[in-house]
Amino acid sequence: MSRPLVVILCPKEFKFTDPAATIETPFLADVADLKTVWLDFNAPFPAEVLDAHAIILWHGPLVTAAVIAQLINCRAIIRNGVGFDSVDIAAAALAGIPVCNVPDYGTEEVADHAVALTLALYRQLFPLDAEAKSLGWKIEQPRAAKMRRLRTQTFGIIGLGRIGTATALRAKAFGFRVVFFDPYAPTGTQKAIGIERVGSLDELLKISDTISIHCPLSTETRGMIGEKEIARMKPGAFLVNTARGEIVQKVPVFAALRSGHLAGAGLDVVEAEPLRTADEAATPNLIVTCHAAFCSPEGMIEMRSTSAKIARAAVLGETVWNRVN
């Protein structure tokens, strides 16, 4: 009998993995054949993907209901990362195919990145760097006014999962008053880590000097931060997003930055990323990083190893973990 096939599916323009799959191979070589396939975002899935017994999916190619209907051998789809919005998980569940993710691989990196963006905004690192390198040495009063003492500020978190919790602990260590909104967090979570809980998103927006987003992208959260929500934020507040771009509507955010209602934004992700126009890129008081908050060699090895272990369990008929459907 032929051996099971595990396919690593990666978007063509991002060489996230190596052709030899050096991280995954030690976990799978004795139980399955392993192949890496690079695919354009909208290209049809080739037969070798549709025939696979397990698919390790990098961010990019969409696994729709139509694709799932053609997966005749598939025992698991494993998203190499936290988000699983690129997979129709309901269709997969109906087909009896587990969809799994790797929710903990980048916890430290993303939390560190969120706090780094926050500190860069509060301490005005990039404008001051540009001023110094232009051979000037002057801090204008409007710039200095944004450089507030952290202990006087309220750091608001939307979504207190693994990354949200890690971010909360880091912000707390810097002296922020930390509050969060998460209707799904267990009762008493705030007591366990020593922060405050509010009962509504509206309340969080009104009291926070910084809003940091750490919830998953879903039908509930898509476009959750729009014009009305931004208007409810404090004048001069900061917005940080290291979750998913589509949670925040970029047009009202950029408008609020231009009007001065928001003092700054630190975005690792943007709606319909990347930035599309020179006008978007020229938005004042905006820091954008290239959906890179998760990156580190250690994190990538952890993520790929976990995905390979889940794929191994799937092809062996064992129970998989991190199932989201």
Using alpha carbons only, what angle is made at residue 144 by residues 139 and 148, rounded to the nearest 5 degrees? 150
Task: Quote the CA–CA distance of 91 and 176 in Å, as a whole number.
Answer: 43
Distances (CA, A) of 252 to 123, 241, 256, 270, 280: 24, 14, 6, 12, 12
Task: Quote the CA–CA distance of 111 and 115 in Å, as a whole number.
Answer: 6
Is the overall model pTM greater than 0.85, yes or no? yes
pLDDT value for 1: 54
Specify the CATH number for 107-288; select among 1.10.150.110, 3.40.50.720, 3.20.20.140, 3.30.460.10: 3.40.50.720
User: Any idea which residues carry the catalytic annotation?
Assistant: 244, 273, 291
State whether the Cα torsion 283-286-287-289 is positive or negative: negative
Task: Quote the CA–CA distance of 169 and 210 in Å, as a whole number.
Answer: 15
Specify the CATH number for 5-104+296-315; select among 3.30.420.10, 3.40.50.720, 3.90.220.20, 3.40.50.300: 3.40.50.720
pLDDT value for 251: 98
Domain with CATH 3.40.50.720 in the chain: 5-104+296-315, 107-288
pLDDT 10s digit of each residue in the chain, 325 long?
A: 589 999 999 888 776 688 889 999 999 999 999 999 998 877 889 999 999 999 999 987 889 999 999 999 999 999 998 888 889 999 999 999 999 999 888 999 999 999 999 999 999 999 999 999 999 898 888 889 999 999 999 999 999 999 999 999 999 999 999 999 999 999 999 999 999 999 999 999 999 999 999 999 999 999 999 999 999 999 999 999 999 999 999 999 999 999 999 999 999 999 999 999 999 999 999 999 999 999 999 999 999 999 999 999 999 999 999 999 9
